[in-house]
Amino acid sequence: MNEETTRALYERSLSTLVGGVNSPVRAGSQPYPEFVERGEGAHVVDVDGNRYLDYVMGYGPLLLGHDLPDPVREAVDGTVDAGPMYGLSTDLEVELAEFIADHVPSVERLRFVNSGTEATAAAVRLARGATGRDKIVVMQGGYHGGHESFLVEGDAERPRPGSAGVPEAFAEQTIPVPFNDETALADAFERHGDEIAAVITEPLLGNNGIVRPVAGFHDTVRTLCDEYGALFVLDEVITGFRVGGLSCAQGKYDIEPDLTTFAKIVGGGFPVGAIGGRASVMEAFTPTGEVFESGTFNGHPVAMAAGLATLEYAEENDVYEHVNSLSDRLRTGLSEIVADHAPEYAVVGTDSMFKLLFTRDEPADRPDTYPRDGSDVDAGDTERWQRLFRPAMKERGILLPPNQFESQFVSDAHTEADVEQTLEAYKDVLA
């Protein structure tokens, strides 16, 4: 495999980009980050001409793959031709908001922003403004973007900044509890209930190995929020319009949040974020309320056009049936391979998300769900996954995320032949 141009480009990037990258997760690729020239359906081609079957899929937004179907491409091209942006309202943002509200019952009003981080940050600000409280509950191992309220580690009694530059005062207002731990969540409310503005959680942990919810966990979140007057914020940045189809993960798992955050697929591969929820809560945003939120690029017409056309295409075609069936085949095949060659590893995922985790020492007292929380994933052999397994898969033409924690995604462009090629590569590497 020739990577001469990639290596030279990385050397150049180190002189102008911090660490040679614009997002630190990309630096996890060994021995240097990939530089992509173009996408082709379910594949990417790098600057050296190497072609890879892609399961990164932009970390989730590319439900349809790299080649946009004609209706989506025409919608994007037509919007660009009309003008890049205006700083004014367009019909596209109204139509996309109507589509989301029509398919996600918990959403009555929306506000579009420009990223998942912006969406979650604004949702928590809204919850604080609506309740007059400061503390938020987060899940250990959950990810809600690079905002000070979320870059917090530790536990409920000893929260601490998870990054340099995060003031202790922010960490003091954040209460981390284990995902799927109803007792820990109840204890947090018992201790701090009259100070808690919101619980924010993903439907499943999507940036920490795909940890699915145990039965009843989200019901407990809902009950405790109602009892103590807090808001339930569901982060569907990753799962929105991927898990559960057009009703999202909250439809699949029968979750009733007050607020939902979206990004990724709702922009069709372009930068986007959104907060949606009950009208009585959402109206606290300016201009109808007193919680400030604004952005020059909010409701950017190209992102609105791409997102709307992508969702309409998914609705009118068998996209979810296709991606979910392929992912089922991948998980089934991987489970068979792991049973034969690496029984200490775990195959996880749902719908069009999947992952092989290098987990070890599965607890005997948790046979019902594994992994059950982020700590189970953290206990895996992450160095082996990153430094040995991922490069070996890449040599066989399969591109996976740079670490064990990020999910892998199937797109509408993937085929049954792609799945068989992928399973052969896994078998070859693990045997």
Q: Could you write out the DSSP letters of every residue in 218-279?
A: HHHHHHHHHHHT-EEEEE-TTTTTTTTGGGHHHHHTT---SEEEEEGGGGTTSS-EEEEE-H
Is 52 one of the catalytic residues? no
Instruction: Looking at the structure, tell me whether residues 141 and 176 fall in a common domain.
Output: yes
Is 252 one of the catalytic residues? no
Instruction: Looking at the structure, tell me whether residues 135 and 255 fall in a common domain.
Output: yes
Instruction: Looking at the structure, tell me whether residues 82 and 61 fall in a common domain.
Output: no
Residues recorded for the chain? 431
Instruction: Looking at the structure, tell me whether residues 407 and 390 fall in a common domain.
Output: yes
Instruction: Looking at the structure, tell me whether residues 48 and 116 fall in a common domain.
Output: no
Catalytic residue among 55, 258, 264, 351: 264
Taking the C-alpha atoms of residue 142 and residue 210, their distance in angstroms, rounded to an integer, is 10
Instruction: Looking at the structure, tell me whether residues 375 and 404 fall in a common domain.
Output: yes
Instruction: Looking at the structure, tell me whether residues 98 and 42 fall in a common domain.
Output: no
CATH number at residue 22: 3.90.1150.10
CATH number at residue 277: 3.40.640.10
Is 368 one of the catalytic residues? no
Catalytic residue among 46, 54, 181, 235: 235
Of 267, 295, 315, the position where a domain reaches its end is 315
Q: Look at the chain and report how many structural domains it folds into.
A: 2
Closest CA to 407 of 117, 140, 209: 209
Catalytic residue among 143, 313, 345, 426: 143
Instruction: Looking at the structure, tell me whether residues 307 and 324 fall in a common domain.
Output: no
Domain that holds residue 371: 4-67+318-430
Q: Considering the entire predicted model, what is its pTM?
A: 0.96
Question: H/E element holding 198?
Answer: strand 196-201
Of 249, 283, 315, the position where a domain reaches its end is 315
431 residues of the chain, pLDDT tens digit each? 899 999 999 999 999 999 999 999 999 898 999 999 999 999 999 999 999 999 999 999 999 999 999 999 999 999 999 999 999 999 999 999 999 999 999 999 999 999 999 999 999 999 999 999 999 999 999 999 999 999 999 998 999 999 999 999 999 999 999 999 999 999 999 999 999 999 999 999 999 989 999 999 999 999 999 999 999 999 999 999 999 999 999 999 999 999 999 999 999 999 999 999 999 999 999 999 999 999 999 999 999 999 999 999 999 999 999 999 999 999 999 999 999 999 889 999 999 999 999 986 665 555 456 788 888 888 889 899 999 999 999 999 999 999 999 999 999 999 999 999 999 999 999 99
Instruction: Looking at the structure, tell me whether residues 272 and 329 fall in a common domain.
Output: no
Instruction: Looking at the structure, tell me whether residues 153 and 99 fall in a common domain.
Output: yes
Of 315, 339, 367, the position where a domain reaches its end is 315
Instruction: Looking at the structure, tell me whether residues 237 and 370 fall in a common domain.
Output: no
Instruction: Looking at the structure, tell me whether residues 299 and 328 fall in a common domain.
Output: no
